[in-house]
Amino acid sequence: MKAANINTIWANDINELCCQVYQSNFGSSSIVLGDINQINLSEIPEHDILTAGFPCQPFSQAGKKMGIRDKVRGAVFQRIVEIIKAKQPQYFLLENVKRILTMEKGYHFRMILNSLATLDYFIEWRIINTINFGIPQNRDRIFIFGTRMIKSKHKIPDLEKLSIFLTDNDVENLSCHENSDIEKSMESIINGSSKNYNWGISYKNKMYSQSLPLMSDIKPRKKLKDILQDESEVNPQFDFTADTIERIKQSKSVNRYCNGVEILYNQGGGARLGYTIFGINGVTSTLTASTSRHYERYQVGNKFRRLTNI
């Protein structure tokens, strides 16, 4: 956003520690701590773009998989819909785990689309991986982008003008790229029978989805070793060499790559992925905010340590 000269004028998180991290990066007055459901809509300023990552736990493989039925975390998405409806930003960008597309044969994602369909926005989604942007982390996420429709400027079939996720090669791969084909191919969000693929569009109560090749790299790919701090700059609290050497005695050597991630050791040769020692010649696995269930250490030279922020 900053690179595109887009200024953040308001932000919110319910987690105090997350707010502290945000403030350390963007200033003490950059974010409002609190439950978004308890914040009055009048306190949220008018804005051009709304970005939000509604809680992924209801949809994540690691969560309870309650989806939109999660009365606590699921309510955040509905609040986002209320904010969009009240503030009418020109665009919105939502992010979540890719599993949201397929949970219960796509039911949850279609319910999300159906809620967004009450708003006058052209909606497009696509699964994007951070490795395509020069970030050495294997992190697939779905991004849902909405463009407010102004009838004098846009028509629903004008896909190439409205899309932000399609490349020229993608357009050639579309089963429906002619205006008339798009309208004929769209089906009811609720009653449609097709799958939710890695790319799709929606407007009003209709949608179209198609499987597209993985997105081409926007920036050159990097390996983890390309961005690591010099070891002399790493705080000793991140060094777990002695403890890790003991772990290795209980583990089996793996020495293989999985989705670009270099795995050196795993307890029982992979029986428990929670006890994993990685290398730095590939990318990282999906990083999480919590390390309570994971023992992730990286071998950097002769040391074993956790990753640090830069």
Q: 184 vs 73, 110, 161, 175, 192, CA distance in Å?
A: 36, 19, 19, 11, 13
Lowest-confidence region among 244-248, 256-260, 281-285, 306-310: 306-310
Integer distance in angstroms from the first to the last C-alpha of the chain? 19
Q: What is the pLDDT of residue 105?
A: 87
In the chain, where the domains are located: 35-210, 224-305
Determine the pLDDT at residue 177.
62
Per-residue pLDDT at 153: 60
Residue 86: which of 109, 62, 111, 118 has the closest Cα? 118
Q: Catalytic site residues?
A: 56
pLDDT value, residue 129: 94
- Interior/surface letters 171-208, b for 16+ CB within 10 angstroms, e for the rest: eeebebeeeeebeebbeebeebeeebbbbbbbbbbbbb
Other beta carbons within 10 angstroms of residue 130's beta carbon come to 17
Strands (E), the chain: 12-13, 32-33, 49-52, 91-97, 121-129, 140-148, 187-188, 199-203, 206-210, 251-258, 261-267, 272-278, 295-300, 303-305
d(CA 136, CA 150): 39
Read off the pLDDT of residues 141-163 as tens digits, 9 standing for 90 and up. Answer: 999 999 998 765 655 657 777 88
CA distance 179 to 88: 27
Q: Tally Cβ neighbours within 10 Å of residue 231.
A: 12
What does the mean pLDDT of the chain come to? 85
pLDDT at 60: 47
pLDDT tier at 3 (50, 70, 90 boundaries)? confident
Its pTM stands at: 0.85
What's the fold here for domain 35-210? Rossmann fold (3.40.50)
Tens digit of pLDDT for each residue in 18-46? 899 899 888 888 899 999 999 999 999 99
Which pLDDT tens digit goes with each residue over 47-73? Answer: 999 999 887 555 545 455 554 555 555
Note the pLDDT tens digit of each residue in 77-117. 889 999 999 999 999 999 998 988 998 888 889 989 999 98
CATH topology of domain 224-305: DNA Methylase; Chain A, domain 2 (3.90.120)
